[in-house]
Amino acid sequence: MSVLGGAYFFIENERRDRYDNPSEDLIFEFIGELNLRDNGSFVVEPVLASVDWYVSISLLDSGEFETVYRCASRGEHRVVIGDSPSGLSYDVTVWIAGLPSSLKPIRTQN
């Protein structure tokens, strides 16, 4: 269970830069920092290991981005190739927001 305002998902890249509850803007920044030398991908996933979804974005040799959407409880595993960082960050944000409430934390107030 998460307390109101607490972290329920995070973003982390190959350099181990990690932020809780990333905004669309932060996802966009992470996409812009991808490179083929030492930071080729990142993942957005829930803090709770028992919640079974994730999104990963990887930079391909072609300069395009591969986005993997995975949600085991919904039987979803989808791969999308794109080249627009703003479009990708928007799509990831909308996908996470659209997850069923059963896959999001229960938020309580004290």
**pLDDT 10s digits, 3-24:** 345 778 999 999 999 999 999 9
What integer pLDDT is reported at residue 104 of this predicted model?
65
Instruction: Kindly report each contact of residues 4-10 with a partner whose C-beta sits within 8 Å and lies 24 or more positions away, as own/partner.
Output: 4/107, 4/108, 4/109, 6/105, 6/107, 7/47, 8/46, 8/47, 8/48, 8/104, 8/105, 9/44, 9/45, 9/46, 9/47, 9/96, 10/44, 10/45, 10/47
Q: How far is it, in rounded angstroms, from Cα 104 to Cα 51?
A: 8
Model confidence at 2: pLDDT above 60: no
Give this prediction's pTM: 0.85
